[in-house]
Structure 1
Amino acid sequence: MTKVTKTSEATASEIMIVNDDPGVETRIAILENGRLEELYTERINSATGVGNIYKGRVTNVESSIQAAFIEYGGSQSGFLHVTDLHPKHFPGATTSERVGKKIAKHNRPPIQKCLKRGDEILVQVLKEGIGTKGPTLTGYLSIPGRLSVMMPYMDKVGVSRKIEDETERKAMRKVLDSINLPEGFGFILRTAGMGKNKLDIKRDIAYLIRLWKMIEKRIATVGAPCQLYNESDLLVRTIRDVLRPSIGAIVVDSTSAYDRIKTFLKIAAPRASRKVIHYRENAPIFHAFDIERQIEEVHSREVVLPSGGRLVIDQTEALVAIDVNSGKSRSAKNSESNALNTNLEAADEICRQLRLRDLGGIVINDLIDMGNASNRKKVEQKFQDNLERDRARTTVLPLSRFGLLEMTRQRIRPSVLDSHYKSCTHCEGLGLLKSIEEVAADATRQCGWFLQHDKVAKVELTCSPNVGTYLFSNKRNQFAAFEKNTNKRIVVRIIEGIATDRIVFYAYDERGSDIELDTLEKVTPPSIQNLMDLQASHVEPEELLEKTGRKRSRRRGGNKAPLAQATSISGNAN
């Protein structure tokens, strides 16, 4: 949990840098003493749908997973779990719920008793869809303002959980209680509202109420599926949600972005509008502040730690694996101290990389082993402290016996890897290529198999120059044996530019006509009984010598002991 403290602008150590390419992309970086700490990017043609509100239609209810699939207007149906279904859809239930008192899953009726196919329902996008999975939806609507969050169909008020100080919480709740709030709405005061006066908060709430009335008009006049509310774009969203007293300046490189930020802040936070600076230099703004170089590090698999250690970050389908290596880190006098120092550095950097790369889901950190229990506690606490500034929800477990620190981080949007890269067309995302030797061995075996089919008279394979050279140098005799045994031909054709691990086969009949490889008959496994019968009828040379009593002739030097091999040891102890 984050403990919020007031920070004077005079001691501000952070700056916000906005790089806006109108109509193309917006990038926003938060620097702390010149170091990149937060990075937000959004391309116009792939803007996030998180926060958008829709009137959707139920297309399917799956009782086995207690979820419904909602057609809401996106390319994929949304996923709504019963735990995200608002109680107003419960049979015979009230239409509201208290803020912070969400009904537990075991107290909720089955989803099939709440929804049926064709029902209309208000939903909000909670998480972006990833891969073949559609977006996650929720029936708990929330519309954020600068100082507060409004939740329709909820009761009571609350204070952000990120504020731990009880004195501050009581003071903020007292301000909320003094405001005449409309019925049927719940409100949460955000951390940005801490220390604000009653008038500022009333103005923020009044803005949210006006916005909801516009949404209600659209609900009444437009059929499902349709969009009701469009969350602000990255520029306004970041200024609204991320701007804090510790940020001393907002430097913006485009005129349109500068004007929009100034206009928004004059309404939402008039004092903060003085922090906005229009960058007019010729040098690209992210280069001028050394941000581009730091972004390149975010795209790297390895991250170097200050003392010489390094992180290796691998993102998989199931989880994110982060390996901590000491590398050249030998600053401490003993291994335990060295492990502690490296792990503490790793804790700082891992939490930073999770933010910068938008990594979510399960994260497994393989730290350097430490024997001292107090040192392990220090590392665990270091993770907790660093995660306090993370806007995503996180859960951290204690270090395991194997030195693994398991954690989860809320996945809100696709990671940098998913949004900036696509799978390699050569390795299909594996990140590895077969060795030349393995490719050649596979090609040889495949040729031998194709030649066994009666319809095939010639096999032709195309390959890269490296593989072709290896085949001619090392597999020539094997190919010749195939040709001799089958009285068929093998042709190797080298093509420049083909991937090293790519082999293309062609088969021809006796007339030279193409044969579709897929039409070749499938393999039929040989009968084990036939193999055993064949084995019984076959007499080994050694057995023949024993039966005839003939002795092997000895050559000169035959009294030398043979090379010892495990397979030549018999069961006879004598």
Structure 2
Amino acid sequence: MHNSDISLPKDIQRPAEAVLVNITPKETRVAVMEESSLCEIHIERNCGHGLVGNIYKGIVRRVLPGMQSAFIDIGLERAAFLHIVDVLEQRQKPEQPLRIEHMLHEGQNIVVQVIKDPINTKGARLSTQISLAGRFLVHLPQDQHIGISQRIEDEEERNQLRERLENLLPDGAGHGYIIRTSAENATDAELQSDINYLTKRWQNIQQLAKTSAPETLLYQDLPLSLRVLRDMYSDNIDKIIVDSRVNYDLMCEFATNYSQGALDKLQLFQNDSPLFEAYNIEARITQALQPRVNLNFGGYIIIEPTEAMTTIDVNTGGFVGARNFEETIFKTNLEACHVIARELRLRNLGGIIIIDFIDMADEAHQQEILTELAQALAYDRTRVTLNGFTSLGLVELTRKRTRENLAQILCEPCPTCQGRGRLKTAQTICYEIQREIIRESRRVNAQEIRILAAPSVIDLFLDEEAQSLQCLSKFIGQPITLAVETTYNQEQYDIVLQ
């Protein structure tokens, strides 16, 4: 049995934040600190620039009526994917089920926007509903309605914002907007500046779409250093520290035009030690790639992302400091709530997340854990849905997945174990080799058989497995010699028939 979704608190007092922007020629990294704890890391590399928000002139390659989707070439390595639910006409008339084969045909040119980056083997996901993000508004040039961010809950405030925006728009503008949360304290002049900026952007895109060849990039979102000012800046940010003079100047210029409040918070980092070293960010990133996270009082959590979901296991470890065992369990689970919420943001883990808290007999403790977890998750900028305890006593939640997680950006599967996280033991390889020798000796009549393998495998053949190798040699009636290959990993070997 599932509990109904647990709503996250909306009116939380966010702690003061510091944003650190580290820029090198090929990479930009942004760290968000809350009270000296690293809670978010954003990485953008020139070679792997995030595609979400990009607008392309695409060409339809295949229409799949059975899946109600189409593959569109936009100039990437893999064709991108467009589903009927992301087609503008279907979004505008959700009550009328439309058919994708009636709207698209192979070879058709189409303007599309990326709504999900390619992840692993999946191509980028597309939409034909275009949206352009500004500082306070999101422009919907093909729509006419004015929407307001769900996070602005006060009905009177929502009505005032809608009225203010309608007064600023020219009569018969025929364009839609979504008012972002950051618009709560925006002046009319700031909103007008946003409207002008977004209108100009859309005109440029339309002009380019008419004259460009298919598979052309028509619009690219701002670089990460400027998106910090557009998307992440808020009043509770104390300082934005940048370690590049050129980018500091660019950010000051952008802030002057679009984000006046951020101008006073911008600081140029002038220090002998690197910015991320000075704030201990490098060590924290390394820790965020490990499955184990230690808690303060001896407990720990294990975080294991898989293709289908992420599992998180909470353990007491050596923590026995409280008055009784039930209290120990409760305190460990309570501390784990905040660590888990922070690690989800830091590692950017998305999709289904299952948390196995230490079993609690007291239902009141269970309820307190859910309340604490909801409180901790409320700081997340990404949409999170908390479903509560399942019948198996596991906590289930989902977190919107829009880009690759930290490990996918920074790591690749181990070539030795092919990403299994395990190596076959030297003994397992010894037995594999012996089975293969029997197979080969029946197939080919050789004078001698030579085994080339890693040092650990050869050592085993010379020691514990010496007798079995001798028996094998007698059984096949051929001498077997050994040779160490220092460049081989433990699972690599060759059998040479001479």
Q: TM class by shorter-chain length? A: over 0.9
- Structure 1 residue 457 displacement after superposition: 4.4
Does residue 1:191 correspond to 2:193, yes or no? no
8 Å CA contact retained: 1:4, 1:165: no
- Structure 1 residue 421 displacement after superposition: 0.9
Pick which of 78-87 and 266-275 moved more.
266-275
Q: What is the identity percentage for the equivalent residue pairs of Structure 1 and Structure 2?
A: 31
Q: Deviations over 1:326-346 (max 9, x none)?
A: 112233323333222222221
8 Å CA contact retained: 2:229, 2:262: no
Task: Find the aligned partners of 2:228 and 2:8 in 1 and give their Cα distance.
Answer: 19
8 Å CA contact retained: 1:4, 1:163: no
Q: Deviations over 1:276-319 (max 9, x none)?
A: 11111112111222222222221222111122211111122222
Alpha carbons of structure 1 residues 184 and 122: separation in structure 2 relative to 1, 3 Å: farther
Which of 19, 22, 27 is the aligned partner of 1:19? 22
Task: Find the aligned partners of 1:36 and 1:482 in 2 and give their Cα distance.
Answer: 58
The letter of the residue matching 1:157 is: I
Does residue 1:371 correspond to 2:361, yes or no? yes
Q: Deviations over 1:382-439 (max 9, x none)?
A: 3322222322222221211322112222221111111111121211111211222222
- Name the structure 2 match of 1:520: none
- Structure 1 residue 137 displacement after superposition: 1.0
Residue 27 of structure 1 aligns to a residue whose secondary structure is strand
Alpha carbons of structure 1 residues 401 and 338: separation in structure 2 relative to 1, 3 Å: farther
Does residue 1:162 correspond to 2:164, yes or no? no
Q: Deviations over 1:180-235 (max 9, x none)?
A: 35533210111110022222212211210111111111112113221111111111
Alpha carbons of structure 1 residues 456 and 110: separation in structure 2 relative to 1, 3 Å: farther
8 Å CA contact retained: 1:12, 1:248: no
Does residue 1:68 correspond to 2:70, yes or no? yes
Residue 413 of structure 2 aligns to a residue whose secondary structure is coil
- Structure 1 residue 32 displacement after superposition: 1.6
Which of 267, 273, 295 is the aligned partner of 1:283? 273
8 Å CA contact retained: 1:150, 1:188: yes
TM-score by length of 2: 0.93
Alpha carbons of structure 1 residues 492 and 36: separation in structure 2 relative to 1, 3 Å: same
- Structure 1 residue 2 displacement after superposition: 6.6
8 Å CA contact retained: 2:434, 2:472: no
Q: Deviations over 1:4-54 (max 9, x none)?
A: 6597xxx97221111111x21111111122111221111122111111011
Task: Find the aligned partners of 2:468 and 2:11 in 1 and give their Cα distance.
Answer: 76
Residue 59 of structure 1 aligns to a residue whose secondary structure is strand
Does residue 1:470 correspond to 2:439, yes or no? no
Does residue 1:451 correspond to 2:454, yes or no? no
Which of 455, 480, 488 is the aligned partner of 1:490? 480
Does residue 1:114 correspond to 2:116, yes or no? no
8 Å CA contact retained: 2:353, 2:396: yes
Q: Deviations over 1:506-538 (max 9, x none)?
A: 224xxxxxxxxxxxxxxxxxxxxxxxxxxxxxx
8 Å CA contact retained: 1:450, 1:459: no
- Name the structure 2 match of 1:551: none
Residue 168 of structure 1 aligns to a residue whose secondary structure is helix
Does residue 1:103 correspond to 2:94, yes or no? yes
Task: Find the aligned partners of 2:141 and 2:403 in 1 and give their Cα distance.
Answer: 24
Residue 173 of structure 2 aligns to a residue whose secondary structure is coil
- Name the structure 2 match of 1:125: 114
Task: Find the aligned partners of 1:2 and 1:204 in 2 and give their Cα distance.
Answer: 30
8 Å CA contact retained: 1:14, 1:247: yes
- Structure 1 residue 354 displacement after superposition: 1.2
Task: Find the aligned partners of 2:307 and 2:331 in 1 and give their Cα distance.
Answer: 31
**Greater relative contact order: 1 or 2 (C-alpha under 8 angstroms, separation 6 or more)?**
2
The letter of the residue matching 1:160 is: S
Alpha carbons of structure 1 residues 484 and 282: separation in structure 2 relative to 1, 3 Å: closer
- Name the structure 1 match of 2:3: none
Does residue 1:78 correspond to 2:80, yes or no? yes
Task: Find the aligned partners of 2:295 and 2:474 in 1 and give their Cα distance.
Answer: 61
Does residue 1:142 correspond to 2:142, yes or no? no
Which of 397, 402, 411 is the aligned partner of 1:421? 411
- Structure 1 residue 454 displacement after superposition: 4.7
Task: Find the aligned partners of 1:51 and 1:59 in 2 and give their Cα distance.
Answer: 22
Task: Find the aligned partners of 1:480 and 1:330 in 2 and give their Cα distance.
Answer: 54
Does residue 1:51 correspond to 2:57, yes or no? no
8 Å CA contact retained: 1:369, 1:402: no
8 Å CA contact retained: 1:160, 1:190: yes
Alpha carbons of structure 1 residues 391 and 422: separation in structure 2 relative to 1, 3 Å: same
Alpha carbons of structure 1 residues 162 and 469: separation in structure 2 relative to 1, 3 Å: same
Q: Deviations over 1:38-81 (max 9, x none)?
A: 21111122111111011111100112222110011212110111
Residue 204 of structure 2 aligns to a residue whose secondary structure is helix
Structure whose CA Rg is larger? 1
Structure 2, unmatched stretches of 5+, are 1-6
- Name the structure 2 match of 1:572: none
Task: Find the aligned partners of 1:492 and 1:449 in 2 and give their Cα distance.
Answer: 18
Residue 478 of structure 1 aligns to a residue whose secondary structure is helix
- Structure 1 residue 373 displacement after superposition: 2.4
8 Å CA contact retained: 1:444, 1:475: no
Task: Find the aligned partners of 1:290 and 1:132 in 2 and give their Cα distance.
Answer: 34
The letter of the residue matching 2:262 is: A
- Structure 1 residue 133 displacement after superposition: 1.4
Does residue 1:338 correspond to 2:328, yes or no? yes
- Name the structure 2 match of 1:564: none
Task: Find the aligned partners of 1:497 and 1:227 in 2 and give their Cα distance.
Answer: 45
8 Å CA contact retained: 1:321, 1:365: yes
Task: Find the aligned partners of 2:398 and 2:15 in 1 and give their Cα distance.
Answer: 31
The letter of the residue matching 2:50 is: T
Alpha carbons of structure 1 residues 476 and 14: separation in structure 2 relative to 1, 3 Å: closer
Structure 1 runs, 4 residues or longer, greater than 4 Å off: 1-7
Alpha carbons of structure 1 residues 186 and 331: separation in structure 2 relative to 1, 3 Å: farther
Pick which of 396-405 and 119-128 moved more.
396-405
Task: Find the aligned partners of 1:142 and 1:379 in 2 and give their Cα distance.
Answer: 38
Paired positions, count? 491
Does residue 1:255 correspond to 2:257, yes or no? no
Alpha carbons of structure 1 residues 341 and 174: separation in structure 2 relative to 1, 3 Å: farther
Residue 323 of structure 2 aligns to a residue whose secondary structure is coil
- Structure 1 residue 449 displacement after superposition: 2.3
TM-score by length of 1: 0.81
- Name the structure 2 match of 1:412: 402
Task: Find the aligned partners of 2:241 and 2:247 in 1 and give their Cα distance.
Answer: 10
8 Å CA contact retained: 1:368, 1:403: no
Residue 442 of structure 2 aligns to a residue whose secondary structure is coil
Residue 68 of structure 1 aligns to a residue whose secondary structure is strand
8 Å CA contact retained: 2:314, 2:333: yes
- Structure 1 residue 477 displacement after superposition: 3.3
Task: Find the aligned partners of 2:419 and 2:357 in 1 and give their Cα distance.
Answer: 27
Alpha carbons of structure 1 residues 172 and 328: separation in structure 2 relative to 1, 3 Å: farther
The letter of the residue matching 1:368 is: I
Alpha carbons of structure 1 residues 2 and 208: separation in structure 2 relative to 1, 3 Å: farther
Task: Find the aligned partners of 1:295 and 1:487 in 2 and give their Cα distance.
Answer: 57
Pick which of 179-188 and 53-62 moved more.
179-188
Alpha carbons of structure 1 residues 330 and 491: separation in structure 2 relative to 1, 3 Å: same
Does residue 1:274 correspond to 2:264, yes or no? yes
Task: Find the aligned partners of 2:474 and 2:263 in 1 and give their Cα distance.
Answer: 85
The letter of the residue matching 2:88 is: H
Superposition pairs of residues 306-321 of structure 1, within 5 angstroms: 306-321=296-311
- Name the structure 2 match of 1:326: 316
The letter of the residue matching 2:177 is: F
